[in-house]
Amino acid sequence: MSAAKAVMEARAAGIQLCVENDDLLLKASVPPPAAVIDMLRAHKPEIIELLQAERRTVLRHIANRFQSSPPGRCAHCGGDRRADDPFVTIFVGDDRADVHASCHTKWFTRQEFEARAVLATIGTTPPSKFPDDFEKNGGS
């Protein structure tokens, strides 16, 4: 079995995979099947490499489609400057966007979801489920 197949099996079993400091981290709401854990162990270095490549592809897609926001407007919510919620300024080449600090995670989550959806459509990266609580937490 390949690393890619192991990742697909893990995701199908409801396991979220990520890489942090060259370690493979797993998150699951229920104990994963032992066979899936065994596959992940057997292919751990290749899975880490695959997930890192997948992440680079997603970030490249976001950067390639980055759009500036109007100065002083949040690229996520469209709101103005707020004294208690400073802007995070994001630069990609000559383009820049302002995002409220409180909106940054939601903005990035939306960008990542959209990138993964497009990439999955063209078969570049496995789809990633959009967080169930995104809309409840103000993501739009």
Burial class (CB in 10 A: 0-12, 13-18, 19+), 129: exposed
Rounded distance between C-alpha atoms, residue 67 and residue 84, angstroms: 25
- In 10-140, beta strands by DSSP E: 16-20, 23-27, 87-92, 95-100
Consecutive 10-residue runs of the chain (140 residues): their mean pLDDT? 88 92 92 93 93 90 93 95 95 95 95 89 58 45
Cβ pair 13, 28 in contact under 8 A: yes
Q: Taking the domains of the chain in order of start, what are their residue ranges?
A: 1-64, 68-140
pLDDT of the residue at 23: 92
Phi-psi map region of 22: left, alpha, beta (phi>0 left; psi -120 to 50 alpha): left
**pTM above threshold 0.85:** no
Phi-psi map region of 74: left, alpha, beta (phi>0 left; psi -120 to 50 alpha): beta
pLDDT of the residue at 103: 96
Measured in whole angstroms, the distance separating CA 57 from the mean position of its chain's CA atoms is 11
pLDDT of the residue at 125: 56
Rounded distance between C-alpha atoms, residue 40 and residue 100, angstroms: 38
Exposure string (b/e) for 27-56, b if CB count within 10 Å is 16 or more?
A: eeeeebeeebbebbeebeeebbebbeebee
pLDDT of the residue at 1: 66
pLDDT of the residue at 38: 94
Cβ pair 42, 6 in contact under 8 A: yes
